[in-house]
Amino acid sequence: MWKPVLTLGMVVLLSVAVTAQEPVGDFTDHIDIGEPSVPGSADYADGTYTLEGGGATIGRRSFVDQFHYAYKQISGSFSIVTDPVFIDVNGEAGPMIREDLDPDSVHVSWLRMGPTVLGSNTNAADGSMFPHFRSVKGSVTIVDGDPEPGGFTDNNVGPVRLDRIGNSFYFYTMNNAGDWVLVQDEIVPMPENVYVGLALTANSANALGWVEFESNELNLLPLWVGRSVPIDDWQSGATITVTVTAKARSAVNGTVTEKVPRLSTLANVKVSAGTVKSDAAKGTINWTLPANFSSEATLTYDITLPNRKSGSWQGFFNDGVNRQSWIGGDSVLPKHPAFPTSAPTVQLDSSKPVIVQIEDMVPRADNPPGFGVMAYPEVESGIVVGTHTGTVGQWLEIPVNVPAGYGTVYMFGRVRGEDGNSDSFHLDFGVEPAGDNTSYWASGGGKSMHYDWVRNNVPEDPRPFAVEAGVHTLYIGPREDGASIDWVAFTNDPAFKTAALDELTGEVINPFAGITSNLGIFDGRLDVAEEGGANLGAAGDSGYNPDTGVYKVVGSGNDIWNAADNFHFMYKELSGDVSIEVTVDLDPFSGDGTWSKAGPMIRNDLTPGSANAFGLIRTQGRDFGRQWRTSADVASESDPNPLPGSLTNRIGLQRAGGTVTYYYYDSNTGQRVDDIVREGIEYTDPVYVGLAVTAHTVNQLAIGQFSDVTILVNGAPVGVGDWQLY
């Protein structure tokens, strides 16, 4: 049964915003979008919606959609649940959220594959779920091309769920136990009022799909926080007033953390209710809503935009119950990005890397590019470019001037693949991409933006471009759909640490700046790594600054996870019941920018497979996570519910025998909260207590800074006499 949960105010809003034309069940209307050749229909009976729909696609290798849609307009944060059951073999079907009813609308869709498999994608078995999203009107739809696992599985038994909280969208399936399993999340800017409903495409221009939607629910969530930016395009030097509005449908204890575009000047912060603290130097605002907030309030502030072309706001909010989510509404300027019609020549510099933003490149004039500009708030520029086709002969281009004496050209970029393994592009320097392995760039996968060298099919080696001095053209072509690029950079140094380049200023960052030989309270420091160091990559380092009381730890490594860890560790050898608590600041622009980790650790020994407990802050969202390895060389485990980063950055571990308590200090009250307890970790005294940092990507370097570090042994603080100063 469809279960709408609407307040009186919401009912009034909907009745004003939408004129009922052909209601079906609880939906306002149903229509064909994109004019499919075969008209669709919708019916409702006994809690089940039945849709028949034609149409070629919902965004697969197309800038427009063709499908049938049963919908209603709604505002704020909400969750939609349904179970698409195919009666006919054709198409894809599932819940959808759209900004408007145009065929090229911004949308987020969670679509199930019917028994007819698309093309040669062998993973697209009957029942597979595919996330779809288009973040700029008229641009590409990104589709996860490699669902894992495919078809109906123990974690995909029928019902699916799509949550919209602010600009965050969460994709869930249900497992055999009846629990929701989060598959992935995306950040897509949309206004407060959107269209939500059930969508069906036949994936064939002249066919008709037939699907029943069962177990339907629509649940309104308690808090919406949205941002309004008063201009449509970036205007360097302009001072603007931004408004953030919080609306609660029921009582919440909410927090909002606003983050303005980096290098902006922040001033005149005001709130209509609650309390606020701002840090102009960091460009952050922490707004605590009144206790049991159940109405509407605003935050306003002025910013002066820096000298750039674009930028993103990276603020988030939490209602105390649901996942921490990105502030809704306006998040990126310009709001409607597009490719230019011409591009200036890029001048290479033999002394440092030079960045090219992909949205500054020009599409091939006589052929659709196979690319589209995307709004992507997770990156500082706010804009990336996505692919929706692998057709040879389509590309973007930009002229590049190589100075005399430059040497061999190497390239790296910030990319994202949708497959669990990798995605790829065609790239050539001076010649049009051939569409074969001579122009193949296999970027790593992982479904998040990461740094990667341009290379052939040899993962270890950056690809050399031996070009003469003069002006040449860089070409980038699509090889697979569902991939995206933020920027590429040129360098003559194949050993350059790619995360050490500031994408906004173009300056090279020295991650080790300020590190000395001082160990502070700790005994030692080292890179913990598997034999041979292949999964560590770059060497790390750490040190203590007695003037500031801050420990700086820089680490590489593929992760602290699975059965072996690769990271940098600053440690003290201790016996007995021990605890460590720290305030963590993890640089969001270092490491892989998403899953880099920093935090306190208690470890049985210094081998990569050691039993350990690790309280971590990760870069994206600043979530507080808890993980452990119970005994040597077994797989790591974690608590699946990270604590939203807006609630804390002061965390701790307390060990008594083989039991570890993970705890944190609430940012709003300052009080310690004992979080979870993990028993059965195989510790034997002495243990190693300290500060751990991993980049989550080999050869990248993540930067963690730790302040107010406190260690207790059998309840007594480690005294000054125990400090080792060098």
Give the lowest-confidence range in 92-96, 427-431, 532-536, 674-678.
Answer: 427-431
- Average pLDDT in the chain: 89
Give the lowest-confidence range in 49-63, 111-125, 479-493, 604-618.
Answer: 111-125
Give the lowest-confidence range in 111-120, 374-383, 534-543.
Answer: 111-120
pLDDT for res 175: 93
pLDDT for res 261: 96
Q: SS3 for 661?
A: strand
| Contacting residues for 279 by C-beta, under 8 A, at least 6 apart | 285
Tokens of 573: 């050898």
In the chain, % of residues over pLDDT 70: 91
Do the beta carbons of residue 362 and residue 343 sit within 8 Å? yes
CATH number for domain 223-333, candidates 2.60.40.2110, 1.10.238.10, 2.60.40.1840, 3.90.920.10: 2.60.40.2110
Residue 166 phi, psi (nearest 5): 60, -135
pLDDT for res 644: 67
Res 3 pLDDT > 50? no
CB atoms within 10 A of CB 238: 12
Q: Rounded CA gap, 199 and 201, in Å?
A: 7
* Highest CATH level, class, for 8-220: mainly beta
pLDDT for res 324: 83
pLDDT for res 122: 56
pLDDT for res 457: 62
At 254-282, the pLDDT tens digits run 999 899 999 999 999 999 999 999 999 88
Q: For CATH 2.60.120.260, list the domain ranges present in the chain.
A: 346-500
Domain 524-722 has CATH 2.60.120.200: yes
pLDDT for res 424: 81
pLDDT band at 147 (very low <50, low <70, confident <90, very high): low
Res 643 pLDDT > 90? no
Do the beta carbons of residue 365 and residue 439 sit within 8 Å? no
Give the lowest-confidence range in 37-51, 111-125, 218-232, 455-469.
Answer: 111-125
The secondary element (H helix, E strand) that includes residue 10 is helix 8-17
At 299-351, the pLDDT tens digits run 999 999 999 999 999 998 989 888 889 999 999 999 999 999 999 999 999 99
Do the beta carbons of residue 473 and residue 483 sit within 8 Å? no
pLDDT for res 718: 81
pLDDT for res 646: 60
Q: Rounded CA gap, 323 and 362, in Å?
A: 39
pLDDT band at 5 (very low <50, low <70, confident <90, very high): very low
| Strand 107-113, strand 129-134: pairing | antiparallel
CB-based burial label for 632 (10 Å; 0-12, 13-18, 19+): middle
Do the beta carbons of residue 466 and residue 475 sit within 8 Å? no
The fold of 346-500 is: Jelly Rolls (2.60.120)
pLDDT band at 451 (very low <50, low <70, confident <90, very high): confident
Q: Rounded CA gap, 435 and 425, in Å?
A: 9
Average pLDDT for 52-56: 92
Place of tokens 């004003």: 16
Provide the 8-state DSSP code for 150: -
Provide the 8-state DSSP code for 221: -
Q: For CATH 2.60.120.200, list the domain ranges present in the chain.
A: 8-220, 524-722
Q: Which residue has better confidence, 654 or 645?
A: 654
